[in-house]
Structure 1
Amino acid sequence: MTVNSIKSVYNIISPRAQSATFVRKRFVGRARFCNRYLSPQGLQMSLPDELWRLILELGVETSSLTYKDICCLSMASRRLNHLSKEDNIWSKLLSSDFPTLSSSSTSTPPKSIYQTRFEKDKAKKLLAEKRAVLRLESQIHEHTRKVHEIEHQLDEENEKIKSAIDELKNLQKVKEASSALKVWQPEIVHGRHRQIVEHCSVPVESRINVLDMEIKLCRQQMIGFLKARREEKGRLEMVKEKLLKVKYRSFECLERSNVDDESRKCRKNLKKVKRVE
């Protein structure tokens, strides 16, 4: 019996101990109760079946005992194993855990119905978790694609700025050469400046103004793209965290399911060994 199961049983008995005379005489204090009645020896002989049956029924009715607690209690002793298999307990568990299940009259034991419904629900949950994982992975792919797209746009704007700056430098040289032609210079220098001015086929001043505006516009575009990339990366990280949580929950459920399967196999093997002996 696990510690949680012991605590659940104690919490069920404790309120009754304040009102019922026969329980109040027996259970004086938590430590005395646990030592006397929840020890392996106490479970075998101290409490009558009627009281244990009442404890289990009250635990299920008040949601203090779950199906896991009932299974843990069933492994504590033969008496509790026998009592925990009673239809009344599993009928109450069925109505509390699966209230939408129609209560049609059938010869199938409630425990078997509960197990079947539990396995179906577990399969549905696993399928829902797989769908959630696929949906989140799809969102991660989409956010990643958007981040790459924004980064590509940033690279394009950066290249535009570099190209505009290079052209602006050349135009500044043309402007300087044009101003130098107005003053006296040696013929060699004068010819070089004239060649620079002749190679320029656009109005220098207007083109410089256009390039200045283009650089400013590109920088504004880059500021917007940087903000969009930051926001998109934030969304991407949020989805990644959600995916990790979903995968962690799925892993926990799988581990728990494997442990439950192993414990069932061990119990079956023990029963086989006892029969052989």
Structure 2
Amino acid sequence: MATMVWYPAAGPAPDPNTAILMVSMDAPAATTGPYPLVILIHGLEGTGGLYGALGRQLASYGFVVAAADYDTGLRGPLDEGVGREDQWTTWLLYDRPANVVRVIGYADTLTARGGMLAGIIDTSRIGVWGHSSGGTTVFQAGGAQVNFSELDAWCAVNKNEPSANDTCNFVGHEQAVATHFGVAEPFAAPMPPLWDKRVAALVAGAPGGELHALGDTGIAEVKVPTLIMFASDDAVVLPKDNALWAYDQISSQDKALAVFDSGGHMMFMNSKQANALTTAFFLDILKGHPAGRPRLMPDAVSFPGLSYRTTIH
């Protein structure tokens, strides 16, 4: 997978208030690291480079950011002779979280002795950010498990609801996914978790309609600090059945929910307000930076057009 990596570079500090932070290809890395790793996951059929504004901003605040093109090169030996619908389900529920683990492994090689960014990346505490379908993958990257028995039960009740289309398209294709997980019986138990336990913080922007493949018990396995954001005028996914459900069901003791009055589904590709909140969240959770926690308090996250609540104190 093609993967873009932004990192703090040597030289004068850029101005975070400029419209576009200046970057240089293969610039010498700064020497004040190592810097925590953040993984960016794009939406359906997107590319990692679409989120360059966030990647540059996080790098300017002392993170190394990796954004892969997750939707290329996914076919493997187990996909030979498999129908398109089975491939699609496997792609979303297995390949994407598996490739997050791959990208983390790639960062390990970059920061290892002799690597292109030797000693620069701190992979002991990792943040994962995702948009839309990537927002669903975020929860799997934080320990959520696919639960096909709960998926089928939910779809039996909700299959005629418009919000159920994305998730309920998985029904009938459970065995193909289970085969990739190495499981013979897809309904006997949830699929094994597919994540790197160094993941310590999650941010999901407008998480997609595939979420109910995790079920109530599957998404409850998420226990790391989590920030969920969406726009109330999102016409692509319905927040009530996705983002709000996820916020209520995850087991994270430290979690926050930011609801923008407008912006639509695609606002998280380049929203200064959402990016600022993301930056503060990662500064606090991954770095313990004193500037992070105050910016996450309700009084600080208070401006027209945003509703915010949090268990962080």
Structure with the bigger percentage of strand: 2
Structure with the bigger percentage of helix: 1
- Higher Rg: 1
Please give the TM-score of this superposition, normalised by the length of structure 2.
0.21
Please give the TM-score of this superposition, normalised by the length of structure 1.
0.23
